[in-house]
């Protein structure tokens, strides 16, 4: 498996028109490849004629793979006919009977993405499709979740860990948890590891594209949850440059579909940078007047960063019940902040402090599972996205060069 394609692939549909039995079995086996979890793979036992019939009445997918017994001008002509029924955003891969360099060059010059010789083993098939999808759609399917507190002490770090465990264990998403606090991070206590590098060292590895060094800085909490184990720098060191920190985000988002960043102890410029590009922002507050007042101002600023859109900004009210009779009610919170809290988490010091001290998951207890279930809907709304059914309905006439694009 190539390093550059070892990521969860973006949402897409791939249609394969095959007759070779070994290649058919390889195509069907793609469903067991974790990278294809968001890819709809449809295997049709047919050829270019069957593809023409299908797309005469249905929208074409992101990728079409066609097997052929002949590579003469008659087949090329049928590819041209097929192109007239396909969206300009559809890519084509051809599987043929012979290894012919001139034919490969001819087909790719016409706009066909790739040419393979049958039978095609599962390793080759998966790599070619993965590479084509990444070239076409990029890695934009990855989602950045930012968690920030209205003030200190509201429990952002604890909830970031809860969310990371829940996203990996319950939603089965490959997740990376990143604390922007450097030496001030408390992740090592809650997750149960020792920091092995500084943020500056992580940035150096990313800029140098030193995958081996970066890999040594990662702590594998479980099969799907990874933590960037930084924090060895001095607590009074000057923070890393904002642009350099973004290099870390760019790198990890190419390999992890969900990246959660704890911004609780980050500086204002770093917070602004991450909050600007986040797909989901969770502003954590306690149900106290001072905290809610700051939360309202912070949410307004984040909304302005997003051009006035607040759809992916959610308020998390943590430690509900910490001061009975002195807290702001849910109704008053909704009126004052003009939004319904995305989640209200009860005050449970025994659960949170116990889990942190013992280095175990919150979800190991029933009350912890309840906390996870309160937060996960906020992740689901940006992870579980439907691919528009009419995304490829724009059918235009023209040559095959205009139809089958590499990107």
Res. 406: pLDDT tops 60:
no
C-beta separation of 320 from 287 below 8 A:
yes
pLDDT at 241: 60
| Angle at which helices 330-337 and 289-305 cross, to 10° | 40
Q: Which residues contact 17 (CB under 8 A, 6 or more apart)?
A: 44, 45, 46, 47, 48, 50, 51, 64, 65, 66, 67
Residue carrying structure tokens 């023209």: 398
Among 240-244, 258-262, 300-304, 340-344, the minimum mean pLDDT is found in: 240-244
What is residue 1's predicted lDDT score, i.e. its pLDDT? 52
Average pLDDT of 38-56? 93
**Each residue of 94-136: pLDDT tens digit?**
999 988 887 787 787 777 888 999 999 999 999 999 888 887 7
- Measured N-to-C along each axis, helices 366-383 and 349-358 cross at an angle, to the nearest 10 degrees, of 90
Backbone dihedral angles phi then psi of residue 342, each to the nearest 5 degrees:
-70, -30
Tens-digit pLDDT profile for residues 179-231: 988 888 888 888 888 899 888 889 889 888 898 999 999 999 998 999 998 88
Are the CB atoms for 35 and 7 separated by under 8 Å?
yes
The stretch 268-296 carries a mean pLDDT of 94
- pLDDT tens-digit series, residues 2-42: 545 666 677 789 999 999 999 999 999 998 887 887 789 99
The residue-averaged pLDDT of 68-72 equals 88
pLDDT at 331: 94
Q: How confident is the model at residue 290 (pLDDT cuts 50, 70, 90)?
A: very high
Give the per-residue pLDDT at 140. Answer: 56
Q: Which tens digits make up the pLDDT trace of 138-180? A: 655 688 999 999 999 999 999 999 999 999 999 988 899 999 8
The backbone torsions φ and ψ at residue 174, rounded to the nearest 5 degrees and listed phi first, read -65, 115
Distance (Å) of CA 149 to CA 25, 287, 324, 380: 51, 13, 22, 21
Distances (CA, A) of 226 to 98, 161, 217, 233, 365: 44, 11, 10, 20, 22
Query: Which pLDDT belongs to residue 386?
Result: 39
Supply 23's token pair.
Answer: 């290649």
Q: What is the pLDDT of residue 185?
A: 85
Q: What is the CA radius of gyration of the chain?
A: 25
What is the pLDDT at residue 396? 41
pLDDT reported for residue 364: 82
Query: Residue 119, preceding bond cis, omega within 30 degrees?
Result: yes
The pTM of the full predicted model, rounded to 2 decimals, is 0.65
**Residue 238 banded pLDDT, cuts 50, 70, 90:** low
Here the tokens at position 311 are 């759809």
Angle in degrees, 0-180, between the axes of helices 268-277 and 289-305, rounded to the nearest 10:
60
| pLDDT confidence of residue 207 | 85
The mean-pLDDT minimum among 90-94, 239-243, 375-379 falls in: 239-243
Name the β-bridge partners of 39. Answer: 12
| DSSP 8-state secondary structure symbol assigned to residue 219 | E
How does 112-137 read in b/e, with b if 16+ C-beta sit within 10 Å? bbbbbebbbebeebbbbbbbbbbebb
Predicted pLDDT of residue 401: 42
Residue closest to 144 by CA, chosen among 180, 181, 198, 169: 180
Give the Cα separation of 71 and 107 in Å (integer).
10
CA dihedral 25, 31, 33, 38 (to 10 degrees): 140
Q: Which of 131-135, 292-296, 395-399 has the lowest mean pLDDT?
A: 395-399
pLDDT digits (tens, 9 = 90+) for 301-359: 999 988 888 999 999 999 999 999 999 999 999 999 999 999 999 999 999 888 888 87
Q: Which domains does the chain have, with CATH numbers?
A: 3-139+388-403 (3.40.50.2300), 143-364 (3.40.50.300)
pLDDT > 90: percent of the chain = 49
CA end-to-end distance (rounded Å), the chain = 21
């Amino acid at each position: 498996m190539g390093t550059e394609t070892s990521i969860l692939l973006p949402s897409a549909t791939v249609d394969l028109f095959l007759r070779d039995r070994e290649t058919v079995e390889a195509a069907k086996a793609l469903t067991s490849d974790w990278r294809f979890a968001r890819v709809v793979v449809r295997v049709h036992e047919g050829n270019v004629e069957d593809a023409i019939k299908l797309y005469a009445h249905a929208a074409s997918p992101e990728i079409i793979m066609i097997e052929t017994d002949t590579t003469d001008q008659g087949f090329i002509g049928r590819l041209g006919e097929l192109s007239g029924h396909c969206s300009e955003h559809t890519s084509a891969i051809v599987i043929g009977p012979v290894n012919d360099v001139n034919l490969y060059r001819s087909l790719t010059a016409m706009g066909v993405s790739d040419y393979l010789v049958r039978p095609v083993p599962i390793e080759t098939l998966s790599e070619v499709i993965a590479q084509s999808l990444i070239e076409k759609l990029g890695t934009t399917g990855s989602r950045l979740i930012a968690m920030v507190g209205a003030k200190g002490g509201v429990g952002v770090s604890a909830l970031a860990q809860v969310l990371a465990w829940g996203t990996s264990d319950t939603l089965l998403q490959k997740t990376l948890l990143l604390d922007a606090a450097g030496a001030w991070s408390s992740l090592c206590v809650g997750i149960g590891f020792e920091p092995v590098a500084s943020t500056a060292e992580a940035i150096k590895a990313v800029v140098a594209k030193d995958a081996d060094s970066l890999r040594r800085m990662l702590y594998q909490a479980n099969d799907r949850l990874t933590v960037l184990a930084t924090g060895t720098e001095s607590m009074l060191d000057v923070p890393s440059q904002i642009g350099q920190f973004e290099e870390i985000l760019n790198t990890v988002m190419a390999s992890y579909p969900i990246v959660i960043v704890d911004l609780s102890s980050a500086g204002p410029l770093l917070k602004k940078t991450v909050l600007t590009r986040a797909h989901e922002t969770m502003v954590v507050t306690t149900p106290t007047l001072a905290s809610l007042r700051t939360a309202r101002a912070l949410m307004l600023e984040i909304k302005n960063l997003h051009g006035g859109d607040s759809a992916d900004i959610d308020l998390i009210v943590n430690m509900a019940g910490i001061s009975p009779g002195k807290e702001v009610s849910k109704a008053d919170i909704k009126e004052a902040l003009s939004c319904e809290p995305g989640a209200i988490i009860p005050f449970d010091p025994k659960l949170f402090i116990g889990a942190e001290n013992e280095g175990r998951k919150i979800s190991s207890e029933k009350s912890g599972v309840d906390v996870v279930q309160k937060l996960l809907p906020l992740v689901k709304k940006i992870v579980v996205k439907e691919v528009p059914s009419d995304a490829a309905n724009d059918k235009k006439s023209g040559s095959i060069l205009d139809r089958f694009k590499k990107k």
